[in-house]
């Protein structure tokens, strides 16, 4: 099953600079070849259910390896059975209405 997820991984107790942890998760997604878009508060990820969920787990593992003892994660999952949908389509539909 194809999914588009919105992932926000927040390490707790590491201070206010979260960029190193976000960068580590971005590296996980790049290494796994998953299509993704970094946003100001979360990352959108597109792919098959299994690889996407495995990447979410790997993000947790790498953030723990960087020293975070606790992580709070928000995950929104969007799936469709009628057709495949790409990240760009979702935003393009709104942009078209605004033009």
| This prediction's pTM | 0.91
Check residue 77 and give its pLDDT: 97
Kindly list the structural domains of the chain, giving each domain's residue range(s) and its CATH number in brackets, ordered by start: 2-98 (3.30.70.930)
Local structure of residue 17 (DSSP, 8 states): -
Over residues 65-86, mean pLDDT: 95
Q: How many CB atoms lie within 10 A of CB 92?
A: 11
Q: How far apart are CA 14 and CA 48, in angstroms?
A: 32
Q: Which residue, chain included where needed, has tokens 């393009």?
A: 92
Over residues 48-64, mean pLDDT: 98
């Amino acid at each position: 099953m194809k999914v588009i997820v919105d992932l926000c991984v927040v390490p707790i107790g590491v201070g206010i600079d979260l960029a190193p942890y976000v960068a580590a998760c971005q590296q996980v997604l790049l290494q796994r070849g998953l299509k993704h878009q970094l946003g100001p508060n979360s990352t959108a990820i597109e792919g098959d259910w299994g690889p996407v969920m495995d990447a979410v787990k790997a993000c947790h593992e790498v953030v723990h390896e960087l020293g975070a003892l606790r992580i709070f994660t928000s995950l929104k999952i969007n799936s469709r059975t009628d057709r495949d949908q790409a990240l760009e389509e979702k935003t393009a539909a709104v942009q078209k209405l605004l033009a």
